[in-house]
Amino acid sequence: MTPDVVVIGGGPAGLAAAIALRSRGLSCLLVEHRPPPVDKACGEGLMPDALRALGQLGVALDSERGARFRGIRFTDGRSTVDASFPDGFGLGLRRPRLHRLLAEHAERAGAQLRWSARVESIDTHGVRVDGERIGFRWLIGADGPQSWIRRWAGLHAIRREETRYGTSRHFRVAPWSDFVEVHWGGRGQFYITPVGEQEICVVLLTRWRRYSFEAALTDFPWLAERLSRATDTARPLRAPSATRTLRRVTAGSVALVGDASGSADAITGEGMAMAFREAIALAAALERGTLGAYQHAHRAIVRRPRRMAHLMLTMDRWPAFGRRALPALAHVPELFAELLALHVGRPPRARVLVPGGLRLGWQVLTGVAHG
């Protein structure tokens, strides 16, 4: 068999690529070494721009699939600031459920999916999968942050990288908020997403490898109290959370998508949206028979989430700055709302950003908000 495209990696990015490719009339074989559904440590919140991208792929999700949330809330136990999305809502959805939905849609679209399959070798003309030689016109690496397709294609040159560590757990408890909450502490953040009527996803993000979930809760007594009577609903999962920028994501007939092509820290909540938008841009480029347009589109897709990651990681890297920035944001809530709107894709409004930014800077520098 010789499909137009072979996709290596069957997580959400690979499945989104398969769906987008089929929508453009390209034949596609997807190969994944794990059985479905594929799970990983994940905040499980789909932001409004992620839902819009899924809609472009023909995948419609509603609140019956998970739990709606209307915005983002930051708190450190003393100061709190929140904002609603300017348009639409977000959806908290368990990762295995999302994976099943995407796999079913890819199959209906006509993609060939090979699960628990082993790629034995690869060259510029084809791959050998479980003893079978398969040719291709294009090869897509969707095989995650440690992508061996990236290394094989010589695309492993990294322009910038910063790694933290994420541990996700699920608790049977009614969500106490219709916001995704980010709880800030001196050594990391807890990221809380409602994923059902009686279930939440709680992710610890930290740059300290040995800072355990249990130890971290002692630094967040207000959160520990809320979780003290809740029960676990799934085994804990742990994975690195990287902000990684590659020099290139295409070479010859090879392209990278999803975490294989770089990433933004999980605290941005934009990993899925980036992957889905990359899949759409990649399929459009391959329909035209060139990867040059994809390289350009990829840079534009990742620019905004990485800038937001840089801002939030600055707050994490310098706790003293974070302790002043959060109460300062609480004093300028319209700026927080504008930053959130910008984060999910709405064009910036200078009349809010400029004066709000000046007020925020003054609050932080003088320590007025901190006092």
pTM: 0.91
Residue 106: pLDDT above 70?
Answer: yes
Q: Which domains does the chain have, with CATH numbers?
A: 5-39+95-160+245-310 (3.50.50.60), 318-366 (no CATH)
- For residue 191, the cross-strand partners are 182, 203
Q: What is the CA radius of gyration of the chain?
A: 21
Residue 117: pLDDT above 80?
Answer: yes
What totals of helices (H) and strands (E) does the chain contain, helices first? 11, 20
> Token pair 């109290």 is at which residue?
225
- pLDDT score recorded for residue 367: 57
* Higher pLDDT among residues 192 and 306, named by residue: 192
3-class DSSP state of 363:
helix
Taking the CA atoms of residue 68, residue 37, residue 57 and residue 148 in that order, the dihedral angle to the nearest 10 degrees is 120
- pLDDT score recorded for residue 158: 82
Average pLDDT, stretch 301-311? 87
Residue 119: pLDDT above 80?
Answer: yes
Q: Which residues contact 281 (CB under 8 A, 6 or more apart)?
A: 293, 294, 297, 298, 301
Average pLDDT, stretch 326-331? 81
Residue 344: pLDDT above 70?
Answer: yes
CA atoms of 239 and 249, how far apart (whole Å): 23
- pLDDT score recorded for residue 176: 94
Q: How far is CA 129 from CA 2, 150, 152, in A?
A: 13, 18, 16
Look up residue 335 and give its two tokens: 């700026």
- For residue 163, the cross-strand partners are 242
Kindly state the DSSP code that residue 19 receives in the 8-state scheme: H
Range with the poorest average pLDDT among 29-43, 174-188, 279-293, 341-355: 341-355
Residue 129: pLDDT above 50?
Answer: yes
- pLDDT score recorded for residue 125: 86
Look up residue 254 and give its two tokens: 């090879």
Transcribe 169-235 into DSSP letters: EEEES--S-SEEEEEEETTEEEEEEEEETTEEEEEEEES-TT--HHHHHTT-HHHHHHHTT-EE-S-
Longest pairwise C-alpha distance within the chain:
69
Residue 112: pLDDT above 50?
Answer: yes
